[in-house]
């Protein structure tokens, strides 16, 4: 019912030239994947060139962040209308942005509304820290992040949104959440909270990814969980073996 979505978050990696060389290497193989949506999220300065290199393909392009205002005196920021010629997606509220760049739930909510207004699909990231996990606070914390991110977003926009559950302790650590745990938190906490907010039918339409040390070797285990609809992939999206990962998901 929900089409899987695999997105590569390149983070602060690859120059524009490296980005184009890389997508040229993988685009043919990725474009043959029919059963999933595939998205690459390069750094801002590579978006134009990557979008151009992927023009004749079904592969989507996403940004890694965005401001909620349309324009103005926000030095260093990028507006939604600057992204829409090149991107269909935008990652919002990644834990690295929350941790290192003081991004707040309120800011993520404003950005999500702005993305939806401009026809961009937000990939809204949520996830608990190791301390919260060990203290048994995962459900309440992640549920709170979902509520805050979707505050004021009307029901008709929910199905167009993607949520990525990325436990912070699993990001870049090689210590992935077990598929069963990820599936349970995504089903009960993330989708469960969306069901409380919008009803079960609407919640069933939202695609929810797992993120955190996903590899070509473990992707199938996550995809076997009924509530997991794909992955937000960091390190393993920077290499040509990302193709194997995507193929392993479908
Ligand atoms: P890794 O796949 O490198 O653990 O990163 C996950 C992530 O943060 C994707 O947004």
What percentage of residues in the chain have a pLDDT greater than 90? 98
Looking at residues 198-223, what average pLDDT do you find?
98
- The 10 Å Cβ neighbour count of residue 243 is 19
Task: Report residue 42 CA to chain centroid gap.
Answer: 13
Q: What is the mean pLDDT of the chain?
A: 97
The C-alpha atoms of residue 109 and residue 113 are separated, in whole angstroms, by 6
Q: How far is the CA of 72 from the centre of ligand 1 (A)?
A: 32
Domain boundaries of the chain, sorted by first residue: 5-249
Q: What is the pLDDT of residues 120-142, one digit of tens each?
A: 999 999 999 999 999 999 999 99
Contacts of 114 (CB under 8 A, 6+ apart): 66, 67, 68, 69, 80
Q: What is the pLDDT of residues 18-73, one digit of tens each?
A: 999 999 999 999 999 999 999 999 999 999 999 999 999 999 999 999 999 999 99
- List active site positions: 94, 166
Atom 9 of ligand 1, residue of closest alpha carbon: 234
Q: Which CATH architecture has domain 5-249?
A: Alpha-Beta Barrel (3.20)
Two tokens, residue 59: 């592969």
Check if the beta carbon of residue 36 is closer than 8 Å to that of residue 245. no
Looking at residues 10-22, what average pLDDT do you find?
98
Instruction: Give the confidence band of 207 by pLDDT, cuts at 50, 70, 90.
Output: very high
What are the two backbone dihedrals, phi and then psi, of residue 58, each rounded to the nearest 5 degrees? -90, 0
Atom 2 of ligand 1, residue of closest alpha carbon: 234
Q: How far is the CA of 202 from the centre of ligand 1 (A)?
A: 27
What are the two backbone dihedrals, phi and then psi, of residue 7, each rounded to the nearest 5 degrees? -125, 135
Dihedral sign computed on CA atoms, order 11, 13, 15, 20 = negative
Mutate which of 62, 232, 237, 241 for ligand 1 pocket (most atoms within 8 A of beta carbon): 232
Atom of ligand 1 nearest to the CA of 211: 6
Q: How far is the CA of 216 from the centre of ligand 1 (A)?
A: 13
The C-alpha atoms of residue 64 and residue 47 are separated, in whole angstroms, by 10
Q: How far is the CA of 73 from the centre of ligand 1 (A)?
A: 31
Q: Report the pLDDT value the prediction gives residue 137, as an integer from 0 to 100.
A: 98
226 lines ligand 1 (CB under 6 A): no
The C-alpha atoms of residue 146 and residue 127 are separated, in whole angstroms, by 10
Q: How far is the CA of 22 from the centre of ligand 1 (A)?
A: 18
Two tokens, residue 210: 């797992």
Three-point CA angle 185, 189, 191, nearest 5°: 105
Check if the beta carbon of residue 9 is closer than 8 Å to that of residue 232. yes
Q: What is the 3-state secondary structure (H, E, C) of 106-161?
A: HHHHHHHHHHHHCCCEEEEEECCCHHHHHCCCHHHHHHHHHHHHHCCCCHHHHCCC
Q: Report the pLDDT value the prediction gives residue 242, as an integer from 0 to 100.
A: 98
Q: Report the pLDDT value the prediction gives residue 1, as an integer from 0 to 100.
A: 84
Mutate which of 173, 235, 238 for ligand 1 pocket (most atoms within 8 A of beta carbon): 235
């Amino acid at each position: 019912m929900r089409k899987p979505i695999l997105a590569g978050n390149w983070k602060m990696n690859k120059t524009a030239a490296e980005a184009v060389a890389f997508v040229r290497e993988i685009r043919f193989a990725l474009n043959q994947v029919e059963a999933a949506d595939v998205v690459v999220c390069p750094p801002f300065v590579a978006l134009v060139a990557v979008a151009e290199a992927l023009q004749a393909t079904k592969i989507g392009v996403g940004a890694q962040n965005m401001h909620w205002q349309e324009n103005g005196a926000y030095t260093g920021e990028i507006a939604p209308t600057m992204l829409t010629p090149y991107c269909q997606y935008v990652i919002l509220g990644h834990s690295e942005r929350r941790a290192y760049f003081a991004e707040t739930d309120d800011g993520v909510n404003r950005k999500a509304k702005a993305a939806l207004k401009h026809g961009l699909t937000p990939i809204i990231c949520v996830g608990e820290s190791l301390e919260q996990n060990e203290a048994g606070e995962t459900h309440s914390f992640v549920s709170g992040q979902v509520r805050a991110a979707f505050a004021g977003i009307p029901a008709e926009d929910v199905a167009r949104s993607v949520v990525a559950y990325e436990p912070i302790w699993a990001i870049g650590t090689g210590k992935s959440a077990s598929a069963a745990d990820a599936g349970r938190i995504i089903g009960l906490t993330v989708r469960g909270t969306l069901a409380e907010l919008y009803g079960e039918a609407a919640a069933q339409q939202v695609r929810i990814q797992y993120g955190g040390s996903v590899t070509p070797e473990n992707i199938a285990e996550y995809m076997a969980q009924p509530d997991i609809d794909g992955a937000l992939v960091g390190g393993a999206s920077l290499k040509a073996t990302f193709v194997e990962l995507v193929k392993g998901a479908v």
